[in-house]
């Protein structure tokens, strides 16, 4: 998916919710399907450095993440 969409970052698939459960990430159920609530994980060198949750307001989330990255001189 990341290649097809030409994304400058990796995408993690956790269809069995193993990582989600270990990290106790927030989920909800809709129409009998378990879904992960919207959040952003910042990871570097295999470690989670920051979690943006809740994502609110959604239309400002990308700017918040970019600002956080720039403030820490991490590549955006």
Q: Cα–Cα distance between 39 and 45 in angstroms, integer?
A: 20
pLDDT digit string, tens, across residues 1-21: 889 999 987 788 899 999 999
Task: Give the tens place of pLDDT for each residue, 42-74.
Answer: 988 889 999 999 998 989 999 999 999 999 875
Which pLDDT belongs to residue 12?
A: 81
- Calculate mean pLDDT across residues 35-40: 94
How is residue 37 annotated by DSSP?
A: P
DSSP string across 34-57: EEEPP-EEEEETTEEEEEE-S--S
Which pLDDT belongs to residue 75?
A: 61
pTM to 2 decimals?
0.74
């Amino acid at each position: 998916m990341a290649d097809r969409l030409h994304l400058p970052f990796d995408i993690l698939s956790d269809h069995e919710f193993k990582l989600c459960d270990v990290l106790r990430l927030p989920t909800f159920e809709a129409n009998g399907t378990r879904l992960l609530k919207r959040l952003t994980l910042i990871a570097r060198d295999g470690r989670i450095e920051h979690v943006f949750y809740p994502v609110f307001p959604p239309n400002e989330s990308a700017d918040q993440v970019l600002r956080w990255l720039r403030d820490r001189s991490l590549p955006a």
